[in-house]
Amino acid sequence: MKPLILVTNDDGITSKGIRTLVEIMQTIGNVVVVAPNSPQSGMGHAITIGEPLRLYATHIFDGIDEYECSGTPADCVKLAKHYVLKDRKPDLVVSGINHGSNSSISVLYSGTMSAAIEAAIEGIPAIGFSLCDYTEDADFEHAVEPIAKITRAAIEHGIPKGIALNVNIPAKTTEPLKGILSCRQAKAKWLEKFDYRTDPNGRGYFWMAGDFINFDTEKEDTDVWALENNYISVVPCQYDLTEYEALDKLKTWNL
Amino acid sequence: MKPLILVTNDDGITSKGIRTLVEIMQTIGNVVVVAPNSPQSGMGHAITIGEPLRLYATHIFDGIDEYECSGTPADCVKLAKHYVLKDRKPDLVVSGINHGSNSSISVLYSGTMSAAIEAAIEGIPAIGFSLCDYTEDADFEHAVEPIAKITRAAIEHGIPKGIALNVNIPAKTTEPLKGILSCRQAKAKWLEKFDYRTDPNGRGYFWMAGDFINFDTEKEDTDVWALENNYISVVPCQYDLTEYEALDKLKTWNL
């Protein structure tokens, strides 16, 4: 029997990236789509509490069950599991293909990966796919075959329980991709710059922008190194934030 | 010299919890407040990209620099660091006191903790405080002394680099608190229930609600156990999501 694959994303159901992902997944399994009705980039692991959620059937793709939701990517997975799919547990949740990198520290801000991690919390194997190209009309063609390969491998080998894979794919260049590397999350941060402007009513506002700062520049085992060297990066992500060494230190505080 | 303490939260600058936290921190250091201008519960590690941010000076508290921001808790920390405080690096960032628990898996959905983790990413010691009482007029009185004690201990001993403490305090009962325990994040999830209703225009919508499911019921080293037994829980949280055991397994997939 073909696997049941739930597809979602954070760029919204009309984006080019989710269309590509749906087409890939249709070659592998039976696809159901529940995705946001508007862009949700940078939503992290936000969920909608205190406000109602809307869910409507859509007719964008060919011959599959598909729904758009007013909520966040994590909401989409929750609504899919508990309402749309009801008693059918998906064999896999895939999220993306994101228009833009979610490597390194960006995983924390990523709606794409929060959907995958939400599935992992539910005990469902999950993969988030992101292309390091932020443009709306990004070229996903070189990503198709490796995404299918990683997905088939995940189904064959099984993703360890409670883990979501964070897959990032270099933007298309004239060079072919060198391969796929399993990596750790690079130590890095964004150095924000706030651009202050004045609106037509005379009130100030800010645009947030930033530069990516990699603290792991010498290391070859990170996702950032892989991407900079034209490899696809795969990072297994978990959701236990406990830092166990610090826990031992805390116990000496005699609180 | 008194430490510079940045205070933020996710319930918004007018909430009772942040007022209590500001009053506690004024006994310890010099306080600056940058907090959301509206409730941001459940925002996880969301940041505002693609929309402008507003920041206005407010006059709610006595004699301190205070600002309300249109963004998320993580935005507040970023704007505070890069704009409000400019060259002054805070010695500590505290977030809360949240109206409601952020123990166990709720840490992922928590705006309170995302602000603390954002500070940890910036290399600033950080603590998120939450009271296990969701009401707007929650009684924070029993939390005041332990919050001061934990904060002073954190300043004295130093929080390990890249770590944010997730402190949860039981709701007030007739029994006194038993003490403070360093814990790990309990394995748990929310089992969502979606309540379907119809609006006056005949269109359907959902309210998300849920029950907390603890998979660690037999274990005494978790935050949930501590809270259920009337202890304050302290969990050291980090932001490297890499699961290193799974990484070894992935390498055998021959991708």
- Tell me the chain A residues in contact with residue B75 when contact means C-beta distances shorter than 8 Å: 208
Contact yes or no for B249 and A153 at CB 8 A: no
CB A45 within 8 A of CB A114: yes
Confidence at residue A49, expressed as pLDDT on a 0 to 100 scale? 87
Torsion of CA B216, B219, B222, B224, to 10 degrees: 60
Output the DSSP codes for A12-51: -TTSHHHHHHHHHHHTTSEEEEEEESS--TT-TT----SS
Cα A44 from Cα B216, distance rounded (Å): 26
Is residue A114 within 8 Å of residue A75, measured between CB atoms?
Answer: no
Q: What is the structure's pLDDT at B50?
A: 84
pLDDT of residue A71 exceeding 90: yes
Q: Is A41 annotated as a binding residue?
A: yes
CB contact under 8 A, B239 and A235: no
Tell me which of B218 and B236 has the higher pLDDT. B236
Q: Which helix (H) or strand (E) holds A97?
A: strand A92-99
B39: chain A residues, CB-CB within 8 Å: 50
Query: Quick one: tokens of B69?
Result: 């921001």
Taking only the tens place, the pLDDT of each residue in B128-143 is 999 999 998 999 999 9
Residue B229 annotated as lining a ligand binding site: no
Phi-psi region of B81 (alpha: psi -120 to 50; beta: other; left: phi over 0): alpha
pLDDT at A218 over 90: no
Tens of pLDDT, residue by residue over A126-178, are 999 999 999 989 999 999 999 999 999 999 999 999 999 999 999 999 999 99
Alpha carbon separation from A127 to A1, A93, B155 (Å, rounded): 21, 6, 40
| Mutation site for A-interface testing, chosen from B38, B127, B250 by largest number of A Cβ within 10 Å | B250
Query: Measured between alpha carbons, how far is B148 from A214 in angstroms, rounded to an integer?
Result: 35
A121 vs B: CB within 8 A: yes
Residues 6-65 on B with a CB inside 8 Å of A are: 39, 41-50, 52-55
The pLDDT value given to residue A1: 87
pLDDT in tens, B98-119: 999 999 999 999 999 999 999 9
Q: Looking at beta carbons, which residues of chain B come within 8 Å of A247?
A: 182-184, 235-236
The answer for B 159-178 residues in CB contact with A (under 8 A) is: 159-160, 162-163, 165-166
What φ, ψ does residue A81 adopt, rounded to 5°? -65, -45
Query: Collapsing DSSP states into helix, strand and coil, what is residue A56?
Result: strand
Does residue B27 register a pLDDT over 90?
yes
Share of chain B above pLDDT 70, in %: 100
Q: B197 vs A52: CB contact, 8 Å cut-off?
A: yes
- For residue B73, the model assigns a pLDDT of 96
Two structure tokens written together for A217: 């520049």
Q: Which two tokens stand for residue B183?
A: 């814990």
Contact status, residue A222 vs residue B242, Cβ threshold 8 Å: no
Q: What pLDDT, on the 0 to 100 scale, is given for residue A41? A: 85
Please indicate whether, in this complex, the C-beta atoms of B241 and A107 are within 8 angstroms of each other.
yes
Chain B neighbors of A81, CB-CB under 8 A: 192
pLDDT at A62 over 90: no
Interval A3-15: pLDDT, tens? 999 999 999 999 9
Coil, helix or strand for B251?
Answer: helix
pLDDT in tens, B219-248: 899 999 999 999 999 999 999 999 999 999
What percent of chain A stands above pLDDT 90? Answer: 91
- Would you tell me which residues 84-113 of chain A have a C-beta closer than 8 angstroms to some C-beta of chain B? 105, 107-109
Percent share of chain A, pLDDT over 70:
100
Give the span between the Cα atoms of A236 and B59, in whole angstroms: 46
Provide the pLDDT for residue B87. Answer: 82
pLDDT in tens, A110-122: 999 999 999 999 9
Residue A248 makes CB contacts below 8 A (sequence gap 6+) with none
What residue in A sits closest to B205 (Cα-Cα)? A54
The verdict on a CB contact (< 8 Å) between A251 and B194 is no
pLDDT of residue B47: 92
> What's the whole-number mean pLDDT along residues A78-94?
94
Tell me the mean pLDDT in the region B69-94: 95
Residue of chain B whose alpha carbon sits nearest to that of A249? B160
Q: What is the edge-to-edge ordering of all strands in the sheet holding A65-69?
A: A55-57, A65-69, A30-36, A4-8, A92-99, A126-131, A164-169, A231-237, A179-182
To the nearest whole number, what is the mean pLDDT of chain B? 95
Say yes or no to pLDDT of A20 above 90: yes
How distant, in Å, are the alpha carbons of A2, A120, A156, A195 from that of B126? Answer: 47, 27, 42, 26
Asked if B206 lies within 8 A of A39 by C-beta distance, the reply is no
Identity of residue A231? Y
Looking at residues B32-60, what average pLDDT do you find?
A: 93
**Is residue B41 over pLDDT 90?**
no
The pLDDT confidence band at residue B9, using thresholds 50, 70 and 90, is very high
Considering only the beta carbons, identify the residue of A81, A109, A153 that sits closest to B255.
Answer: A153
Q: A249 is written with which tokens?
A: 């230190």
The confidence score (pLDDT) of residue A42 equals 87
What are chain B's domains? 4-186+219-253 (3.40.1210.10)
Measured between alpha carbons, how far is A130 from A146 in angstroms, rounded to an integer? 12
